[in-house]
Amino acid sequence: MNPLKQLHEQGQSVWLDYIRRTLITSGELQNLIDEDGVRGMTSNPTIFEKSINGTNDYDASLARALQNDPDQDTKTLFETLAIEDIQMAADALRPVFDESNGADGFVSLEVSPKLAADTSRTITEAKRLWGTVDRPNVMIKVPATSDGVAAFESLIADGVNVNVTLMFSLDHYEAVAQAYIRGLDRCKTPERMASVASFFVSRVDGIVDKALDENGSPEALSLKGRIAVANAKLAYKRFQEIFEGESFKKLAGAGAHVQRPLWASTSTKNPDYNDVLYVDELIGPHTVNTLPPNTLEAFRDHGKVAATLATGVDEAKSQMVALKGLGIDFGALAEKLQVDGVASFAKSFEDLLSSLEKKRQLSSSAG
């Protein structure tokens, strides 16, 4: 049996960490849904920047949008293209949403990363995008910055599905999970709400491995390639404590869905590591793993399916303690990863708008 479909039997949903116009229009997305059991999609400014700027997929839509409104600003132009993709993808995944009673089948669209430090504008933008896309199986993405978490709580209370992104530590996770519960407590229809907590994985090993190399001791080197998985396993343990415990029982009784952990950044960056490391080691119920196309294909080919998330938790704790004993401040590294992640998405967004502006000017000149 296809290992990707076997993940669903373990209670884990596979989402595709990629979006592109021809992926949807060619029928490839539908094939991924049918043959591989893909049950959702995520996008971010970097993915859109590569898809829109790196292909000709959007030229016809771009020309049509400019013909309809030659004076629209570049940000509006981008949203027109992106929202068309999101709506088509959401429609393709709508049967998954319906069959799962609103628990799965989602597509994510991100608010501008330039608003990561502005709660009120994040709320305004998220609500505007939610209303414009107008699909029940869409999640609006906001970052897990302190301002983003405050916006997230308000959005859940007001009935907007949210994918909270750029989480790297237990502190990040704790803040987001508690905000979800507070938001549900204030929501008139908690049974209709859906959210995922996007916990980043491979970037953790990238920054921690560098610190371990700089230390150079045998103990430090023995931890290389292990901290990202350990960190994620401890976050999952905390998920179980929160959402399977007393604090969520009343909301669960009212029909509320748990906020599933979503493993993000799951492509293996270090060629010395197993190319499906961050899939094999993070399999468990009530989770999502969002895979870029190359990782999805690799796992289909040679992934190993077993209930791995709830195993080795004591070892994970010991590894995090050992990291601290080496003088490596994981909390500080996690904060840096979040700051750098916001900055990276913001740069991709700026690059995207700059390239679209050039395309608009070329189109106007040709006209």
Matching residue, tokens 């330039």: 114
pLDDT digits (tens, 9 = 90+) for 270-301: 999 999 999 999 999 999 999 999 999 999 99
Instruction: Check residue 357 and give its pLDDT.
Output: 87
Tokens describing residue 98: 């319906």
At the fourth CATH level, the homologous superfamily of domain 3-366 is Aldolase class I (3.20.20.70)
**Closest C-alpha among 49, 110, 64 to residue 360:** 64
Task: Give me the pLDDT at residue 130, please.
Answer: 98
Task: Round to whole Å and give the CA distance between 51 and 169.
Answer: 30
Instruction: Please give the pLDDT value at position 85.
Output: 95
Question: In degrees rounded to 5, what are phi and psi of residue 110?
Answer: -95, 140
8 Å CB contact between 7 and 291: no
Predicted pLDDT at 70: 83
Give catalytic status of residue 358 as yes or no: no
The pLDDT of residue 6: 97
Whole-number pLDDT of residue 46 = 86
pLDDT value at residue 2: 95
Domain positions in the chain: 3-366
State the pLDDT at residue 365: 65
pTM (two decimals): 0.96
What pLDDT is recorded for position 366? 61
Please identify every stretch of the chain with a pLDDT value under 50, giving residue numbers as ranges.
none
**Options 114, 127, 141, 224, the catalytic residue:** 141
